Amino acid sequence: MNGKILTLWKRLLSYRKKDWDFGDYPVRYKKQPGNDSIGNKSEFKEWAAQIVNWPLIGLGDTKAEAFGVLRDAFHTYKKSGEKLSRPGVPAPIRFAETTEIERLEVFAADFFAKILEYDFYDCFISDDSSVFDFNVEEKEILEKINAAYQLLWVELGDGNIVRLLQAIKARNIHSAL
């Protein structure tokens, strides 16, 4: 079925009930063009699935895998208590909170310059951002953080930047680099 017709159909059907689930939303698929310039080919996913008019995307090596990732992301979003947009209607884009990263601005500016080699003020960083969002190797980033701030492997954890900056601030560590 044509994407626009499917979207309209799903929207019309949505008026029959008030509690929508994943199957009520139109989904589109796109086969990603191969990219030889990607450094780590294992990270490249051939298929993308997206709820039409939503920013949620699922990536996978197969169409079915991309669909499953998207479905899981939808259910996580729905469980968060956020209001669902009606099927076929654009969902508003919401940015993650930035309260904590803003409180740690001085530490963040130093960390970004020395560890990630980015200007903190040229990026959008949320309280949920991770050092791994910057396509860095785990061992390499750990070594840089350890050399600069004497933080250990266990303190790196999932790479959450706010958590790392809080550890740096709590230990009153000044960069050695």
Compute the distance between CA of residue 133 and CA of residue 145 in angstroms, rounded to an integer. 16
pLDDT exceeds 70 at position 160: yes
Residue 110 lies in a domain: yes
The reported pLDDT for the residue numbered 139 is: 82
Residue 175 lies in a domain: no
Q: How many domains in the chain?
A: 2
* Domain CATH code at residue 35: 3.30.160
Residue 34 lies in a domain: yes
Residue 91 lies in a domain: no
Q: What is the pLDDT of residues 101-134, one digit of tens each?
A: 999 999 999 999 999 999 999 988 999 898 888 8
Strands (E), the chain: 27-31, 47-51, 57-60
- pTM higher than 0.75, yes or no? no
Percent of the chain with pLDDT over 90: 44
Compute the distance between CA of residue 62 and CA of residue 138 in angstroms, rounded to an integer. 27
The answer to whether residues 9 and 74 belong to one domain is: yes
Q: If pLDDT is split at 50, 70 and 90, which confidence band does 177 have?
A: very low
Q: What is the pLDDT of residues 8-44, one digit of tens each?
A: 999 999 999 989 999 999 999 998 776 544 444 456 7
Residue 103 host element (H or E): helix 99-103
Radius of gyration of the chain (CA): 20
The answer to whether residues 74 and 110 belong to one domain is: no
The answer to whether residues 67 and 21 belong to one domain is: yes
Cβ 8 vs Cβ 69: under 8 Å: no
For the stretch 145-152, contacts whose Cβ atoms lie closer than 8 Å and that sit 24 or more positions apart, written own/partner, are 145/115, 147/176, 147/177, 148/114, 148/115, 148/175, 148/176, 148/177, 149/173, 149/175, 149/176, 150/176
The mean pLDDT of the chain is 85
DSSP state of 22: G
Residue 67: C-alpha distances to residues 1, 11, 50 (Å): 17, 20, 8
